[in-house]
Amino acid sequence: MRGFNKSNVYKQLNHMRGLVARLHLDDLSKLYDEVPQLQREASNLMEWYSLPESIYEEVEALKEAFDETQYEIQSMIDQGMADDGFEEDVYKEMEEHLVPNMEDSIDEVEQAVKYWRKGDD
């Protein structure tokens, strides 16, 4: 496990932002394959670095946001929305709800890192 380093955590968060930005928002089968990488990135962040407790909790919430996204994608697939003709509906759900939730969670981790001071926890 590596020691906590704000710069390394920021790099990981930027990497996750890039992955979110490149998601295929109208294609459930591609989304189903892409979101697990986000889940792994959040897990890696928790495992690789000795994160302060307050930041660790925010990273846990981030992973939960990615888990929720994967669950919602599976739900849409189960409802038959992976079929042709549902691309707009999938895009709308992703663009209006799931992507903002993931982006907000990344922002919250970034804020926790930004305001953390040695000795906080």
In whole angstroms, give the CA distance from residue 7 to residue 38: 19
Task: Answer whether residue 108 shows pLDDT above 90.
Answer: yes
Reported as a single tens digit per residue, the pLDDT across 39-82 is 999 999 888 778 888 899 999 999 999 999 999 999 999 999 98
Tokens representing 114 are 């930004």
Q: List pLDDT tens digits, range 72-102.
A: 999 999 999 988 899 999 999 999 999 999 9
Torsional sign, CA 72, 73, 79, 84: positive
Q: Which domain covers residue 72, as residue numbers?
A: 6-115
74: domain CATH number?
1.20.120
Identify the pLDDT of residue 121: 60
| Total number of domains in the chain | 1
Residue 1 resides in a domain:
no
What pLDDT, on a 0 to 100 scale, did the predictor assign at position 49? Answer: 76
CA dihedral (101, 103, 104, 108) in degrees, to 10, reads 140
